[in-house]
Structure 1
């Protein structure tokens, strides 16, 4: 199986997180974008401030690689107006996919109306501009019951307010890859979490992000029904190797 068209090649570290200068970190992003072009990956997933640069690189060589970025990342607890402002700027800069971090903390505390409004407004903005929208639920912060509930909440908002032809453009995504877990527990996609997401998000597609480290694990996720896989080691996985990075 050629899994390149499932892979969202991902680099989301800031310069300080990577221990680099801003110029050095920008060079890392440039290399990730070039690799995505060379390897014909589905998408390059980068921070919002790098989107315009990536758009220029990809357009200059007429590549089909698309550009994704993260919104309200990684905590997801910003105001709705700030989420939408950031998303609007990403759209202007050339982003194709908008990966919103849902306010999972608000969901856990029972503020479901707030979360539903986020999903509706963010999805509407993305679809109005013909973008792919993904909602990151941060499975490592949730128990199994909450994964089921939050996946179903997103699905129900989309099914209630948008056309069936739009369903394939709204994903439920597992993880940011930046959530801090205790005791060495995984902070990304797991088989158990993905099964729950696929079962309770359908007919919306699911993206497995973080924790997929080998070609075999990627194939397993695809067989579970995942439509996209986010990884910072896309080339290693596509080549049948093992990811060296954590995400």
Structure 2
């Protein structure tokens, strides 16, 4: 198994979140990009402001690593128009994958038409520009029933409006990794939630993100059927070690 080709190596902390200077945070970003190139990961996932830097470093290295970024991160509560503007900038800067945070709170309030609209318009933008689109549903903020419903909403919207040949390029993704649970329960991918997602997202692929920190966990997710794994522990995983990362 070439596990590195399942891994979206991820660094999404701001300098403030990391408790360091912007200069030091930039150095960490550069280090993560370089590691992705050296380890031949599928993708490097960064905040939008670092996409152009990643594009430059990857092109200079003649690497095949692709670049992903997050849109309306981490809460997903901005307008559809906001998401589109941010996504257009990321496309211009060289992003290959666009990981949109869905407005899961609007979904929980019953604003179904709004959520369908953002799925339709943002996915259309991504596919029209030959990008891979992923929808982050933030499983830790949802009940099991809501996970099932939201996966079905995204799936049915895609099936209703896009060709079957596009399905493989529209993922449903578990988590941002930044959601704070009140009871200390996992804030990312678990076996139980990933099984629910896989059962209710097909034929769309699933990306497990948040909390996958070692080789055993990663391979178990792959065996279940996920096509991508988003993790800040990509290098640790391919080395067969355990990460102590908190996201």
Tell me the equivalent position of 1:149. 149
**Residues 214 and 233 of structure 2 are in contact (CA less than 8 Å); yes or no, is this contact kept in structure 1?**
no
Structure-1 separation of matches of 2:57 and 2:157: 36
Tell me the equivalent position of 1:106. 106
Structure-2 separation of matches of 1:242 and 1:229: 16
Give the SS at the match of 2:208: strand
Tell me the equivalent position of 1:121. 121
Structure 1 residue 213: Cα displacement: 1.5
**Residues 139 and 188 of structure 1 are in contact (CA less than 8 Å); yes or no, is this contact kept in structure 2?**
yes
Structure-1 separation of matches of 2:43 and 2:8: 5
- The Cα offsets for residues 151-180 of structure 1, whole Å up to 9 and x where unpaired, read as 010000000000111000000000000001
Structure 1 residue 238: Cα displacement: 1.1
Tell me the equivalent position of 1:45. 45
**Residues 8 and 45 of structure 1 are in contact (CA less than 8 Å); yes or no, is this contact kept in structure 2?**
yes
Tell me the equivalent position of 1:69. 69
**Residues 2 and 238 of structure 1 are in contact (CA less than 8 Å); yes or no, is this contact kept in structure 2?**
no
Structure-2 separation of matches of 1:143 and 1:79: 24
Map of 1:154-173 to 2, 5 A cutoff? 154-173=154-173
Give the SS at the match of 1:195: helix
Structure 1 residue 2: Cα displacement: 2.7
Give the SS at the match of 2:130: coil
Structure 1 residue 184: Cα displacement: 1.4
Structure 2 unmatched runs, 5+: none
1:233 and 2:242 are equivalent in the alignment = no
**Residues 212 and 233 of structure 2 are in contact (CA less than 8 Å); yes or no, is this contact kept in structure 1?**
no
Give the SS at the match of 1:75: coil
1:58 and 2:58 are equivalent in the alignment = yes
Structure-2 separation of matches of 1:143 and 1:131: 30
Tell me the equivalent position of 2:17. 17
Give the SS at the match of 1:69: strand
Q: TM-score, normalised by structure 2?
A: 0.99
Structure-2 separation of matches of 1:147 and 1:101: 14
- The Cα offsets for residues 42-90 of structure 1, whole Å up to 9 and x where unpaired, read as 0000000000000000011110000000000000000111100000000
Tell me the equivalent position of 1:6. 6
**Residues 9 and 44 of structure 2 are in contact (CA less than 8 Å); yes or no, is this contact kept in structure 1?**
yes
Tell me the equivalent position of 1:177. 177
Structure-2 separation of matches of 1:213 and 1:193: 17
Tell me the equivalent position of 1:210. 210
Structure-2 separation of matches of 1:224 and 1:149: 20
Aligned length: 247
Tell me the equivalent position of 1:186. 186
Structure 1 unmatched runs, 5+: none
Q: TM-score, normalised by structure 1?
A: 0.99
Give the SS at the match of 1:68: strand
Structure 1 residue 239: Cα displacement: 1.2
Structure 1 residue 244: Cα displacement: 2.0
Tell me the equivalent position of 2:30. 30
